[in-house]
């Protein structure tokens, strides 16, 4: 019975090693002669995306969009052993759920992904908001009761070395004012989401939709096979 338990534990160990944490560094990308982490978010509001850990500082929205699109040709991808990636689309700026400007802070009390407001705090339905609040576990300036928090801002960065305090552009346009160049943006210094004129000089960070597969590296497979063989031999011996 003990051997059967150990066999099950070994199988569980291998499977858990293949399962991914929500944010996982799967390799690097070489850009302008330096390497930057590629960080996989396996569930950003239902999407699998890979973030490039690089901040393109202080540029207008059109310039940041041009920069993000240029990464398709500029990056050299270096995946860690055990990962394969099926890319979908191009590198881009983060997306935001657009809608009429309604201020709020209460978050998603029902946990159904539906928010009754579009700008303010505790919004996790934008890709930057999800990264900031859900994946990295940071606090906004105000909690869901609109009480100011003492520990707010970009205090937790995870594997991001180049995520900075400040404004980041979203590539989503504010459609209530289509006659003006207004886009959504996110402030990592206090978790605030709002719209800004596209002429403002905000930071840019790029991500790309991708399906990432994790396969056990050969050494892990060999260790697993040896373990199974040993346990199976022990089980046969006990049956005699």
Q: Is residue 227 part of a domain?
A: no
Order of strands, sheet of 76-79, starting from the edge strand that comes earlier in the sequence:
76-79, 23-31, 34-44, 47-52, 207-214, 83-92
Q: Is residue 198 part of a domain?
A: yes
90: which DSSP letter?
E
Q: How confident is residue 4, by pLDDT bands cut at 50, 70 and 90? A: very low
Cα(206)–Cα(67) distance, integer angstroms: 9
Q: Is residue 224 part of a domain?
A: no
Looking at residue 47, its pLDDT comes to 95
Q: Is residue 82 part of a domain?
A: yes
Q: Is residue 23 part of a domain?
A: yes
Which residue carries 């890709």 as its tokens? 127
Q: Residue 235 has which token pair?
A: 């089980």
Looking at residue 74, its pLDDT comes to 98
Looking at residue 239, its pLDDT comes to 52
Q: Is residue 151 part of a domain?
A: yes
Cα(204)–Cα(209) distance, integer angstroms: 17
Using left for φ > 0, alpha for ψ between -120 and 50, and beta otherwise, residue 210 falls in beta
The pLDDT tens digits for 51-103 are: 999 999 999 999 999 999 999 999 999 999 999 999 999 999 999 999 999 99
Full residue range of the structural domain in which residue 67 is found: 2-218
Domains in the chain, number: 1
pLDDT at 16 over 50: no
52 - beta bridge partners?
Answer: 38
Q: Is residue 190 part of a domain?
A: yes
Looking at residue 238, its pLDDT comes to 55
Q: Is residue 229 part of a domain?
A: no
Looking at residue 214, its pLDDT comes to 92
In this prediction the pTM is 0.83
The pLDDT tens digits for 99-130 are: 999 999 999 999 998 999 999 999 999 999 99
Q: How confident is residue 147, by pLDDT bands cut at 50, 70 and 90? A: very high
Q: Which residue has the higher pLDDT, 221 or 171?
A: 171
């Amino acid at each position: 019975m003990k051997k059967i338990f150990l066999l099950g534990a070994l199988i569980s160990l291998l499977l858990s090693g293949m399962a991914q944490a929500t944010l996982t560094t799967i390799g690097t990308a070489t850009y302008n002669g330096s390497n930057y982490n590629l960080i996989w978010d396996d569930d950003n509001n239902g999407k699998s995306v890979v973030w490039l850990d690089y901040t393109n500082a202080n540029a207008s929205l059109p310039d940041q969009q041009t920069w993000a699109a240029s990464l398709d040709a500029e990056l050299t991808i270096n995946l860690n052993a055990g990962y394969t990636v099926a890319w979908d689309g191009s590198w881009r700026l983060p997306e935001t759920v657009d809608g009429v400007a309604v201020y709020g802070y209460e978050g998603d009390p029902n946990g159904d992904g539906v928010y009754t407001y579009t700008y303010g705090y505790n919004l996790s339905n934008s890709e930057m908001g999800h990264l900031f609040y859900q994946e990295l576990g940071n606090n906004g300036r105000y909690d869901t009761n609109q009480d100011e928090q003492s520990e707010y801002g970009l205090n937790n960065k995870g594997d991001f070395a180049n995520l900075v305090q400040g404004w980041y552009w979203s590539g989503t346009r504010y459609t209530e004012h289509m006659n003006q160049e207004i886009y959504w943006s996110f402030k990592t210094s206090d978790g605030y989401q709002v719209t800004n004129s596209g002429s403002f000089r905000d930071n840019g960070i790029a991500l790309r939709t991708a399906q990432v597969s994790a396969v056990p590296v050969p050494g892990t497979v060999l260790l697993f096979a040896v373990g199974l063989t040993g346990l199976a031999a022990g089980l046969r011996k006990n049956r005699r």
